[in-house]
Structure 1
């Protein structure tokens, strides 16, 4: 397989280096069709590899919490995209072989394969195996004419074609399955933009969408005749107001012994002289005006920083890694420090590098932020964590994973 893929890669690279402009229009169309078929064939191979890696538990062996998270790091995918890949690989592995073969033949696309797999599973639950097999043939035939969206819509009435005697009773089951599919696909993604803003994207299930509409609805109305904000800007401001109201309500659970809060770091002189910008614990930067506005309704805590940004003092030490010491960890680590992890500070535990039970003290030099999964992973003893000369944590992998045991760092969190 490795040799075949290498040959295919060479052939594709040669095609990519070839100019398309000399081709006639019929040749361009033929080349497009061939490229599309090849893309689907490669998708079938990719799904088979993902399924085998997931079945072997490779992700957990290499320190990731799940196969989607490992694929995110390995293939530079988003976690939702990686999760859909794993789910489809599992569905096709346990489903009809005709679907896998159609994808391998380039007869259907990856999204069509997902739709057909979902629909056939519904038919199998509502009718019987022969009806499901007939549904596969019908849907693969339809896939040659209809895109995935229309194919899914047609699939809701597939029982009328393959098992009319149970179609009416199964309509309810199909609707319930569709609702469950939507629930599985729910997600919200926060993507950091180069200028420090966040892009919010996602898919809410019906209940969450209703809650969001009810919560921000009263806050999205124009504030008066002079309000020049467009609807999108009003929804943005309403969401920010909703977060402020929630934080002030004091009903959110604590994180690491601290109440839910917004942490802004700036210099004392810059704050008093209205000069400096501020930095959030997630690494984002705020304007001086925003820092001053937030400081009007905030608790100010002192922190002394060294020339390279190490936190030298944040008040008196405590036995537990909470309060000022935890804030120092957040300022330094920005989130889970394990390589490849993007968990934010609020999801992290404070870990003693030298365990407390073994005489380790509670100090910044002996602490590191780790999410729950990587906290358990470190305690199993395969990885070694230490502070480098610049005061930031680095991790030494086990020899079986990296014979050279080169120290690794987390590159997802911004460093100062």
Structure 2
């Protein structure tokens, strides 16, 4: 069996880590904690350099074969629990330290972070080293300069310097196809939520950032406590909403792309039903409350199923909110009527104040515009109401009213007038 100790130095390191873990941090003040953190970060950088150096030697000696694996990347995934990206990055960093001594020295000294080493690693790729040699480039001098930048400049600056160097190696080469640099992976989880992972080229990334930022900056209601990440995610969903509503996306098998929800009528009208009452087109399950929200301003198709689930009758599809009614609601409300929100009308759904599935009319008096965020809020306990004078008021789930600002005489108003 292989020893887990490795060497006396590793054993001493493990003992030192045990001592650190035993230290009580409670009651220490900020400056003392920051001093401790600074030392730990330097030590962490140094340790990461040793890990990368060792991975490189394992690669050169084909150590992974000892455990029946072909590469160190696969060993790191299987034995150390690394993700594929992290394993590849560590292997690349080990190769870079072997080829760029100045960077290795800075990393071993702890003045360059593992992220900095990974950023420099493309310089040591075989094709780039070959190009540098063919052009008489002093790679050692380049490495020394990169080590200086990595140790003294922000990470973003280091990335720019590395990119500039690599671009100068092949100034007359063909312009890369930007589509080859783009990827998007959508991973669906058990609860129906999704995670996004992707890469975009510089131009594609700029387009996406410009579009998301335009929506993020245009919808910043007072009292908004969302994080920057939440605002960007909401903006991305709003982009999808806008495109789906525009009806200009490519047709899928004779049908325009749309959000599909299948829900039994009994579940739709009964708010006490469980969280998995509705099933969406790509397989996610949602609650009856969420289904009612989507059904506020959608197209409904009645399908009668037999006892074994076979369709027996297909009713004609009809739009819950017809176009002429939506135009009237937009003209009256002008945008989202939730207190403090200034989202424009084209970002909004038409909300039934009393849901049509519960007997509410599809009429101007029973309708109000709500953006996606606040439409969700209203279907999860918040409440809106239009006053006889045309103003909208908003209440929280606990019954307290959301007030924007006081007026003279103690009166308040909360949202736009209709």
Q: TM-score range by the shorter chain?
A: 0.3 to 0.5
Please give the TM-score of this superposition, normalised by the length of structure 2: 0.46
Please give the TM-score of this superposition, normalised by the length of structure 1: 0.46
Structure showing greater radius of gyration is 2
